[in-house]
Amino acid sequence: MAALPRDVRAKLVSILKDDYEDCSFFLAASRMLTGKIEDISAAVQNSETDFENLRDSIGEIGLLISNAEKRLEEVEECYTKLVDALAESLPPKT
């Protein structure tokens, strides 16, 4: 298996680190959504939780889903750029 040329490696690192910050925004958005769902689960189990607080918390899920979807689109863009960069580095077929 051939090693990646230095310039290709640099291009991939640039895409991951500089352009998309290792997709850390998607990870953060996912954690926020998961955390909110865990909070709601705990609140539902708590007999002292009132309707308004539960309703508001459930409403926040929609905002968190929207944010996670936006960040997932960024992950897809990152993936596409990585694939394109690798494809561009392939030697021509003879």
pLDDT digits 0-9 by tens, 26-79: 999 999 999 999 999 999 998 888 999 999 999 999 999 999 999 999 999 999
What three-state secondary structure class fits 85? helix
Please report, for residues 7, 23, 43, 61, the alpha-carbon distance to residue 67 in angstroms, rounded to integers and kept in the order given. 34, 13, 23, 10
Residue 36: what residue type? Answer: K
The reported pTM is: 0.81
Copy the structure tokens of residue 25: 């925004």
